[in-house]
């Protein structure tokens, strides 16, 4: 743990009350803008690294890197705009100020290594904290490269990256002032138990079993395209991946037919793409490792019904890669394990049809999770009814999985506590202090 202690010591020096990092928001703003600009110079190199460690297609990695750049710039603009509130009562002045916690530990998942880092790092630094990042053991490379780019741009001790096992995470959680975690619900619960004795502030972005409602008046082509992308991009390794679809009874067969055509004509799991055909298919790579591959296969094999659709795998390296094709089940009862448990792979359940919007909303809310959801309908009244009724942290209407940095992201129930992104993320990484001054 010598390296961990070294990182903690350097962060402690950089986060002292009198440090320029805490007291000078213009410095933080300029540093974050500089880091975004530096990353932009090397966006293709970073995308190559991201693809190398995750297996995702290069185009997907490039989109991810550009989202990271946007995120850094968004929070850079907030550095000198973190306000409190004030009130004057006679000679008594009441006000609040927001202060950084000090040293924060950031623990990220393997599925979007660099993007998840930016979601936490940018607001943490903008708020005046120093950050120690512990990336997932499968995917440390892009985080280390980001730290390398930041070496001459950020003051010493402000940002450290410490790859390692769960022991590193546990040690950091015990020694820092705030933890922000993205990963499984089980690990999130373990972190809460670990910090219960001293009530550490936590942000936990955990699992999901996300559901989409498709009404009979939906734009069918649009719904099918967004659902396929939401379910199978990044091989389903996405906290917001669509796992359950509820389709109105009158369009159920038509939806299945169009979804089948979409998967058979547009989706392919492969690493071999001919030049000029990069945009012909929605491509995705293998699952992250053997353990995840085995977990997803077990979920598929435990469900006794045959899949309605199985997609295509074409790859010369398929024997050495953890590929699973898009796998879709139809007429799935709500209470079967495959429709209840998070799978984190390219498996989609089309549940039994619904007959009223109230029924559909109630069935969406049966899940123990509450991360993301969506409704496809041209009727704005239906859309607002679903938005109000669905118990999830993020609800889309007629689209899916678009996440601008200005909109807070985070779930409820077993999907976690707290928010990444948006103004809410700045509040997550700062403490609100109340002040009363009386000069009467």
The length of the chain, given as a count of residues: 440
Active site residue 239: yes
Question: In 150-160, which positions are buried (b, 16+ CB within 10 angstroms) versus exposed (e)?
Answer: beebbbebbbb
Rounded to the nearest 10°, the torsion over CA 100, 101, 105, 111 is: -50
Do 171 and 155 contact (CB within 8 A), yes or no? no
H-helix or E-strand spanning residue 348: strand 347-351
β pairing state of 430-438 and 92-100: antiparallel
**3-class DSSP state for residue 374?**
strand
d(CA 373, CA 208): 10
Q: Which two tokens mark 439?
A: 């000069």
Active-site residue (options: 31, 71, 130, 205): 205
d(CA 258, CA 56): 26
Active site residue 240: no
Residue 313, class by beta-carbon neighbours within 10 Å (0-12 exposed, 13-18 middle, 19+ buried)?
Answer: middle
CA 108 to chain centre: 9
N-term to C-term CA, the chain: 54
CA atoms within 13 A on the CB side of 51: 17
One DSSP character per residue, 214-227 reads E-TTS-HHHHHHHH
Which residues 6+ apart lie within 8 Å of 18 measured at CB? none
Tell me the Ramachandran region of residue 128: left when phi exceeds 0, alpha when psi lies from -120 to 50, beta otherwise: left
Do 139 and 183 contact (CB within 8 A), yes or no? no
Which residues 6+ apart lie within 8 Å of 93 measured at CB? 86, 87, 436, 437, 438, 439
Active-site residue (options: 31, 79, 239, 240): 239
d(CA 409, CA 55): 25
**3-class DSSP state for residue 411?**
coil
d(CA 331, CA 348): 11
Q: Which two tokens mark 177?
A: 């002032």
The catalytic site residues sit at 205, 239
């Amino acid at each position: 743990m010598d390296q961990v202690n070294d990182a903690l010591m350097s962060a402690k020096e950089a986060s002292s009350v009198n440090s320029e990092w805490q007291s000078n928001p213009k410095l933080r703003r300029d540093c974050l803008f500089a880091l975004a600009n530096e990353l932009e110079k090397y966006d293709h190199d970073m995308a190559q690294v991201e693809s190398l460690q995750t297996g995702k297609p290069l185009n997907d990695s490039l989109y991810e890197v550009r989202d990271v750049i946007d995120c850094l710039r968004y929070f850079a603009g907030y550095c000198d705009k973190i306000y409190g509130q004030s009130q004057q009562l006679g000679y008594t002045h009441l006000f609040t100020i927001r202060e950084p916690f000090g040293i924060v530990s950031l623990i990220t998942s393997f599925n979007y290594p660099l993007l998840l880092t930016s979601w936490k790092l940018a607001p943490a630094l903008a708020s005046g904290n120093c950050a120690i990042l512990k990336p997932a053991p499968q995917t440390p490379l892009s985080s280390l490269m980001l730290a390398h780019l930041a070496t001459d741009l950020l003051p010493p001790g402000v940002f450290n990256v410490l790859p390692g096992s769960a022991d590193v995470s546990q040690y950091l959680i015990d020694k820092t002032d705030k933890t922000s975690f993205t990963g499984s619900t089980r690990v999130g619960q373990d972190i809460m138990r670990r910090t219960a004795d001293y009530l550490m502030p936590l942000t936990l972005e955990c699992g999901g079993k996300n559901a989409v409602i498709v009404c009979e008046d939906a734009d069918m082509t649009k719904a099918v395209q967004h659902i396929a992308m939401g379910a199978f991009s990044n091989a389903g390794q996405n906290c917001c991946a669509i796992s359950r679809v509820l389709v109105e009874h009158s369009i159920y067969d038509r939806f299945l037919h169009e979804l089948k055509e979409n998967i058979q004509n547009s989706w392919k799991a492969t690493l071999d793409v001919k030049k000029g055909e990069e945009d012909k298919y929605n491509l995705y790579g293998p699952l992250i490792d053997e353990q995840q591959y085995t977990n997803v296969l077990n979920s598929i094999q435990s469900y006794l019904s045959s899949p309605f659709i199985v997609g295509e795998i074409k790859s010369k390296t398929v024997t050495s890669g953890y590929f699973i094709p898009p796998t879709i089940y139809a007429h799935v009862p709500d209470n079967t394990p495959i429709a209840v448990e998070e799978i984190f792979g390219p498996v989609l359940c089309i549940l039994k049809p619904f007959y009223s919007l109230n029924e559909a909303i109630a069935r969406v809310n049966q899940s123990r999770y509450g991360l993301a959801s969506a409704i496809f309908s041209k009727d704005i009244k239906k859309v607002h009814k679903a938005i109000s009724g669905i118990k999830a942290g993020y609800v889309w209407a007629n689209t899916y999985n678009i996440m601008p940095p200005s909109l807070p992201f985070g779930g409820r129930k077993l999907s976690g506590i707290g928010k990444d992104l948006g103004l809410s993320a700045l509040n997550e990484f700062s403490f609100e202090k109340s002040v009363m001054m009386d000069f009467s």
